[in-house]
Structure formats: structure tokens, C-alpha cells
Chain A
Amino acid sequence: MIPGLLGTKVGMTNIITELGAMLPVTVIKAGPCVVLQVKTKKVDGYDALQLGFGDKKPHRATMPHIGHAAKAKTGPKCNVREFRIAEATEIAIGDVINLETFGTEDINYIDVSGVTKGKGFAGVMKRHGFGGKEASHGVERKHRSAGGIGGSANAGTGRAVKKGKRMAGRMGYVRCTAQSMQVLKVDTENDLMIVLGSVPGPAGSLVEIRRAKKKG
């Protein structure tokens, strides 16, 4: 069984059902990926498939990179990711896997991992969903402030502000997984997958597709 696929997020659009409902969908170009290495428990300590996706120009790749890809009889790849597998499979190094071999017919839900859009330095309302303060009733210049971060009662415990206190800071550009995304349509001819709803990251970014962990 193929554990997953690599792909790029093409972008979002709508599709209209026969009943006239407009559904927000994300289009993902999934695969084809090349198996660059098959890791086994005996040799590597765990079982996994190393997949490569997207070609890289040979003059931009390093020799070790080219040599590694050459073992799978392919050129260097832009994106290389590992997918854990339960046990050794018949999938061999150099195999090309795509939506068809992924077994899309019995897959209704997938998990999609990617790197979210960076939001920069964000305040607590945006970053942690704090309520902020009122617009009026005497509130001045602190409508979006975080409020108290700990009183003198905390001083007795040895620190004034608790560790992990949610504050403003860098937001986004972290790995995130959208779980149980419903697959609406699969186009094996063009390697396209259409899922309901949004997927982490900007259009054009790399996404990892796995069988849904929590939903069949």
C-alpha cells in the first residue's frame, strides 16, 4: 500500500453541484512521485518510502543529490519526503507512483500537510483568538491588547509570568495538517485531486497527501 503522495497546491475555486450548491474546493496536483529509496527496519531502523517530486535542473543539484537519484534511475528532485510504512512492501526503488497507484478509488478522505502562509508578527487577537477590549466605555489605545499577563500572586511561585503565556509574536509558516479532507473528484489523466475546503499554504506550495487517519 502506498502511504502517501507529494503534490502542489494549485489553488482554490468553486464547483457547482447539480442541485446548485456552490462548494469551495482546493485543486491539488498530486504526483507523479518517484521512489528514491526504500528504508527498512533491518538497515535503517524503520520502514519508510522516500519519495521525490518535481524535477530539479541537474546543474542546480549537488553531486550527492544526483547520485542518490541515479540509484532510482531518475534525475534529481526538488522535493524529497519520507512516508512511514507499516512493513516492507513490494514497492521498489525507482517505482513511479501517481494517483492511480495511490488507489484513489477507495479513498474518500485524505489528510493534507503543508506549511501555512506566514502572517508576520501578529497580535494576540489574530494569533490566539483573544477577545481584545471594548471599542468604547472608556477604553483608550488598547482595543486589541492582551490584558493582564499575571499578577503579584504569581511572584511567590518564583516567576512573574507563566511560561507559555500566549502573547503576540510570529504567526504562520509552520507545518500544519488538514485532516479528513473530503475528496470530491480525481482526475488521474492530469494528476489532479479536488478536495472540499481549504488546504494549508499558498498556491504553488508543496503538500503531502496521506490517507485520512481518522476517517475512511
Chain B
Amino acid sequence: MGSPLLDLVEKAYLKPKQPTYHIGDTVDVRCRIVEGSKERIQIFTGVVIAEGGKGVSACITVRRIVGNEGVERKFPLHSPNVIDIDIKRRGKVRRAKLYFLRDRIGKARKLRELRVQHKKTAKPALAAAGA
């Protein structure tokens, strides 16, 4: 964040570990929902179309289609309500913000998913890139 003192303050509120997702990944976000005194876990599945903020404010925008209607939700990564982020599929994308997906309808939207590489095949490629 620039200021070491601000970092010091933020440190107390950061989660120690963050999942290594990428833009374009299809993820399962498991989040805690509190209804009155009851607590349950909801899974929100969708594509990570953007990330924003830094430090404690870091968040991701996840887009999914519910009943032919686009739904986007922003998840603060360091919120205790966001329990876990599972990566289901890797997406092959070339930009940081996938806002163009909002204008895609029907199959055009799905085309993107066709380009998605499965984790099994993606893994060796990643390892090679890392080495």
C-alpha cells in the first residue's frame, strides 16, 4: 500500500494464505451466509472476470449465469465470510478484465468455456513455465 505503517495495520486483517486463482478461471467460492442465528455455506460458481483492490481490500468479481440472467458478485478475499475458493477449470484469456463477457450472449459466452483447458492438461504446462 505504499505506507509501511498502513501495511502494519492491514497485516492483522489479512488471511495468511490465498488461493492461486487466475482471471478467467471457473471457480467455486464457498461463502458463509448468516441468517439470523443460523449459519450455512453457499457455493457460488462462476468465472473470475476481474480482480480489484489490494491489501485487505483485495477482491474478485465472479460472474455466472442464473436463468439466462448474468449475475456478478464481488468477494473480498480477506473476508472471513469467504471460506474457500476452489478452481474448477482454467480459462485461457489474454486480458485482466473480462468485461467483454457481459456483452456475449448464448453460445458466444460458451465459446470461452470451450477454450478452457482442463486442470490435468494445464498442470504440466504451468510446471514447465515455472521451471
Q: Give the B-binding residues of A (Cβ under 8 A).
A: 10-11, 13-16, 18-20, 22, 27, 29, 187, 190, 192, 194, 203
| Size of interface on B: residues with Cβ below 8 Å to A | 20
Known: A20-B32, A27-B9. A13 touches B76 (CB 8 A): no
In the assembled complex, the Cα of A137 lies from the Cα of B10 at a distance in Å of 50
Q: Could you give 12 example pairs across A and B, Cβ below 8 Å? A: A11-B2, A13-B1, A15-B9, A16-B79, A18-B80, A19-B34, A20-B76, A20-B80, A22-B57, A22-B79, A27-B5, A187-B9
User: Which residues of B1-17 are within 8 A (CB) of A?
Assistant: 1-3, 5-6, 8-10, 12-13
Binary contact readout B24-36 vs A (1 if CB under 8 angstroms, 0 otherwise): 0000000010100
A20 / chain B contacts, CB cutoff of 8 Å:
32, 76, 79-81
Do B1 and A192 have beta carbons less than 8 Å apart? no
Given contact pairs A20-B79, A20-B80, A20-B81, A15 touches B56 in the complex (Cβ within 8 A): yes
Query: Is B55 an interface residue when CB atoms closer than 8 A count as contact?
Result: yes
User: What's the nearest-Cβ distance from chain B to residue A196, in Å?
Assistant: 13
Most buried by B among A10, A13, A29, A190: A13
Q: B88 interface residue, CB < 8 Å from A? A: no
Q: Identify A203's interface contact among B3, B12, B32, B76, CB under 8 A.
A: B3
Tell me the complex Cα distance, A18–B13, Å: 10
Q: How far is the CA of A16 from the CA of B82 in the complex (A)?
A: 12
Is B78 an interface residue, CB under 8 A from the partner?
yes
Q: Give A22's nearest chain B residue, CB to CB.
A: B76
Partner of B6, one of A10, A16, A19, A187: A10
- CB-defined contacts of A194 to chain B, threshold 8 Å: 9
Q: Which residues of B contact A16 (CB under 8 A)?
A: 13, 56, 76, 78-80
| Interchain nearest-CB distance for A13 vs B (Å) | 5
Query: Are B6 and A27 within 8 A (Cβ)?
Result: yes
Report yes or no: A10 in contact with B5, Cβ–Cβ below 8 A.
yes
Tell me which residues across on chain B come within 8 A of A14, comparing CB atoms: 13, 55-57
Please tell me if the beta carbons of A11 and B6 are within 8 angstroms of each other in the complex.
yes
Instruction: Kindly report which residue of chain B lies nearest to residue A12, judged by CB atoms.
Output: B6
Q: A13 near B10 (CB under 8 angstroms)?
A: yes
Contacts of B76 in A (CB 8 A): 16, 20, 22
The 3 closest A-B pairs by CB, nearest first: A20-B81, A20-B79, A10-B5
Given contacts A27-B5, A27-B6, A192-B9, contact A13 B79 (CB under 8 A): no
Bound-state CA distance A20–B55 (Å) is 15
Mark each residue of chain B from 45 to 80: 1 if its CB lies under 8 Å from any CB of chain A, else 0.
000000000011100000000000000000010111
Closest-CB distance, B85 to chain A (whole angstroms):
15
